[in-house]
Amino acid sequence: MAGKVAERRAALRDNLIIIAEKRIASDGLSALRARDLASDAGCALGAIYNVFGDLTDIVLAVNARTFHRLGADVAAALADAPQDPIEQLVVMAQAYHQFAAANLHSWRALFDVERAPGEAAPDWYLHEMGQLFAYISDPLAVVFPNRDPQELALLTRALFSSVHGIVLLGLDGASAGVPSDDIDKMIALILRQFTSNP
């Protein structure tokens, strides 16, 4: 019987993640409400808190799936990219842009998830970020062979943040939106210029 209960809890957990993923993808993180999830799942509101600590825990589980999909897209772009490390960076950054544009709400949830001030990001989150950063630091190490690992880590983080900023402001029609074509142009401009004098 204990096995059945555990099984049901696991099924509800998986179901709630899928439901929350759909809600975030269509309406955005800020519209996510526990009562809507309970209603979609056909369970009592309290049942959610039997399997998740709070709403943020569900969002983190959804974000884990989004990180995996993003990583898969970046890896697929890399597989088709030329051997040239600078072109690899450009192709991956443009894949990042495409993913963000096609999954706007889910992508924004990766960065908009709220955490208590001072509370560190969970290990799995930092691990997922680390995986993404490895895609960038590998070609960067080829372009900048004389930088030590610490400098390379800083370069990697700076470049990722730069591409993220270009995509974020570019996709945000409310502040200073630019056509999607120009986002890819800006990405290529920054990356080529950045790597032109190693």
Identify which of residues 56 and 98 has a Cβ nearer to a second copy in the complex.
56
Which pairs from 21-26 meet CB under 8 Å and 24+ separation? 21/62, 21/65, 21/66, 21/106, 24/59, 24/62, 24/105, 24/106, 24/109, 25/103, 25/105, 25/106, 26/105
For residue 62, give both structure tokens: 């959804």
Per CB under 8 A, residues contacting a second copy are 30, 110-111, 113-115, 117-121, 125-126, 129, 154-155, 157-166, 168-170, 172-178, 182, 185-187, 189-190, 193-194, 196-197
The nearer residue to a second copy, 80 or 148, going by C-beta atoms, is 148
Minimum separation from the CB atom of position 6 to a second copy (A)? 31
Give 15 or 162: the residue with its C-beta nearer to a second copy.
162
Nearer to a second copy, 5 or 174 (CB): 174
Give min distance, CB of 159 to a second copy, in A.
Answer: 8
DSSP 8-state code for residue 89? H
Strand, helix or coil at 113?
coil
- Nearest approach in angstroms of CB 128 to a second copy is 10
| Smallest distance from a second copy to CB 138, Å | 18
Burial degree of 29 (CB within 10 A; 0-12, 13-18, 19+)? buried
